[in-house]
Structure 1
């Protein structure tokens, strides 16, 4: 069974202090940064992530779906909020898959639970993302140390020959 995490994009940006500060300078940059972070998160967790942004106030807009770094990004159509998009989408999705929605909107959380999905607060997402970043950093450091220690154990002449062989390939 596939697992999905649906993110109320602007709700998360406004509740995540780093992203909120970025949004005050450039909303586009804040959206990009959120998608970048969720791409890392998705890669580590092995789940499908969909980020939904409101475009309901933009005249004449049609629903727009993009895939950016493996993240599905949805801009709602004119007169459709992210909340209403998520509510409809969750009802269909939760019949076949496991789904959770990230939002701090209490009313939205209640609808999500009623639609068969679970809810996650933005704070929980931030904490989990921070933990994942630390784990990745630790693993990277361990791998770097292992790499360094392996090259220290090989005879320098053999290491030089291996490097020449690698460059020819």
Structure 2
């Protein structure tokens, strides 16, 4: 029996927010807005790449917080419980999946990158994730604009030879 191989992208949420200038600036005024912007970007990326994405926000210093898991379109958002870091959640998650699954972890935390590599996953820095995301958006935009061009102009006259067009035009004018 063939085993289904899953492809995961696991994102250390606050690590990425603090690494991307636009999200970092937004977080100063609106942390929730910054989280939602990151979530929206990862949803788009996940739709385009087909990765199952998991964004982990830690609540390490939040008193009495319980683990909260939200299923969103194409992704899962996890808020860890009190005294649990995003790193420890990511490590625990990696232990729970098949060794055949493809896993990329997005973080700038060097220690976490080493642990991830030791567990057989790939690491991706915040900068690399941003570049991948921008490329995916660009390819999606190109794909949408080229399909729009096909829709905008799909006329019969574009597909007929000049002689046939001339005959049709003469028929039209005789009416």
Structure 2 length normalisation: TM-score? 0.83
Which position in structure 1 is the counterpart of 2:55?
51
- Please say if residues 8 and 102 of structure 1, whose CA atoms lie closer than 8 Å, have aligned partners that are also in contact: yes
SS across alignment from 1:95 = coil
Aligned residues: 154
Q: How does 1:15-30 map to 2 (within 5 A)?
A: 15-30=19-34
In the alignment, structure 1 segments of 5+ residues that lack a partner are 155-169
Which position in structure 1 is the counterpart of 2:128?
124
The structure number with the bigger radius of gyration is 2
Which position in structure 1 is the counterpart of 2:139?
135
Looking at secondary structure, tell me which structure has more helix per residue.
Answer: 1
In structure 1, how many angstroms separate the alpha carbons of the residues matched to 2:93 and 2:147? 41
Q: Please, which of 106, 111, 134 is the counterpart of residue 110 of structure 2?
A: 106
- RMSD across aligned positions (CA): 1.5
SS across alignment from 1:150 = coil
In the alignment, structure 2 segments of 5+ residues that lack a partner are 159-175
